[in-house]
A and B are shown apart, each in its own frame.
Chain A
Amino acid sequence: MSAPFPHFIIVDDSQLDCFIAEKIIQNAGSYSSVKSYMEATEAYEAIKKSVPGPADAMTIIVLDIQMPVMNGFQFVDAFEQLPADIRSNYAIFLFSSSINENDKNRLGNYPSIRRFYGKPISKDTVAQMIETL
């Protein structure tokens, strides 16, 4: 029996980027659900409250770096403080239109970040993310 399709959470302050990611993921077809958050704090609260069932599919988080209020790295900081049984249901992928050396070096400090991708998200990226699960 193959694993169920993953859920997707998109965290990006750009409405257009959220919209694109939703479309690309939906068009790729391999998803159980897609939800967008323009505020990272709201996404964090939702994840904190989530109670996944044992047989539930993994959730892929498509995370933007530069956002006001709570940026991508601050989001991961907060995420990594969550209990392990919640964290194990999520896979975080970082997205940005550019990345500086400083940010690149920081990636290594976050075990829960699976990979960094340049924007825009594409069908191939979605397939690759699902592949790593």
Chain B
Amino acid sequence: MEKQEKIKILYVDDEINNLTGFKASFRMSYNIMIAVNATDALEHLNSHPDIRVIFCDQRMPGKTGVQFFEEIRSRYPKPIRILLTGYTDIDSVIDSINLGNIFRYVKKPWNDGDILAAINEANKFYVSNSLLAVKNEELQRAYNELDKFSYSVTHDMRGPLLSILGAIEAAQDVDDISEIRKMLKLMKNSVLNLDDFIQSIHDYYNLNRGELEIKQIDFKELVDEQTRIFNFTYLVSDVRFKTTISQREVFRGDELSIKLILNNLLSNAFKYQRKENKTKFVDLNILVENGLAVIRVEDNGVGIAENYLGDIFNMFFRASSQEVGSGFGLYNVKAAVTKLNGKITVDSVVNKGTTFKVTIQNK
């Protein structure tokens, strides 16, 4: 069984004998801290933010336990507060419990069973409270992201649609068939752009919600598939596409994520070429050995300005309007790499080219 750290418990009492007795009884099962007054107690609370339960004696010189708990409650809301008290103080204790300053009380003189039961209950309460806090935070974050996401998505989906609508309106007044053809070509691009965007959202969803499906990866097969996909592109735009694959061992990984990485990096490499360049190229190099797969995608295209390099993996970021793009591709690549516990680096010089290097581990 995994060794768990002992639960931290603070006991505040002005009587040294009580403190040592308490510590002696429970130190085997818990990490017990003791304090003879409020000042010492605060010191413990400051240096140990993970104290889960505080026991405090009600009758102490200068300050009652109820007062002490009232004071620390707002600054240290997380530890569960338990009061130790005799029956004579019961009225003030009832008030305090009702005000929420105290979780429960244990009557004095205490026996081990009462204390253990109190710790157990308090710990359960602490754990569910902190779980709730963590979940709440996660939920809030997810909610904020969804807000941003849905705005951007609606904008990016409506954009191409409204463009097409505008084109239809404008076409009503155009009689020249060659003008109409030109418009149809631009409309087609808008449709492709929208389709591309929807595909990216699908990828995004798969990456964020889908489970990894680890299986044997044949990189040659994957690259052949990509070559078929981009065949048309590099023939038309006259880009030399070279692939070098040396897979020296069996590699296991999530095929969907690896495909997504390859597809997006290659798509960018083909897309962001310099039109005037006579010797355009895209080089894909994959080396699988020593439990690692290293994928390099190199091009001699437009490159990325240095001041944008830090932003290219951000959602919806686009460093250029040269080509249509959703600002989703590299974000998805990064998410896929992260999901595979891998690493991605980029080297780029404007008008010289860009090299992406992805390293992922064999599972």
Contact = CB atoms under 8 A, between A and B. Distances in A.
B191 to A, nearest CB: 10
Contacts of A19: 167, 170, 182-183, 186
B170 A20 contact: yes
For chain B, what secondary structure do more than half of its interface residues adopt (helix, strand, loop), or is it mixed?
helix
Contacts of A16: 163-164, 166-167, 183, 186-187, 189-190
Interface in A2-26: 13-17, 19-21, 23-24
Interface string A91-118: 0000011101000000000000000000
A52 B165 CA distance: 35
Interface residues of A, number: 25
A98 B319 CA distance: 21
Contacts of A120: 162-163, 165-166, 169
Contact of A20 (B155, B159, B163, B320): B163
A14 B319 contact: no
Given A15-B186, A15-B189, A16-B187, A98 B151 contact: yes
Nearest to B187: A16
A121 B165 CA distance: 10
A48 interface: no
A35 interface: no
A31 to B, nearest CB: 14
A98 B155 contact: yes
Given A16-B167, A20-B166, A100 B187 contact: no
B163 A119 contact: yes
A27 B173 contact: yes
B158 interface: yes
A39 B163 CA distance: 18
Nearest to A24: B170
B357 interface: no
Interface of A: 13-17, 19-21, 23-24, 27, 38-39, 66-69, 96-98, 100, 119-122
Nearest first, the 10 A-B pairs at minimum CB distance are A120-B166, A68-B318, A13-B321, A16-B186, A20-B166, A23-B170, A97-B158, A27-B173, A119-B162, A16-B163
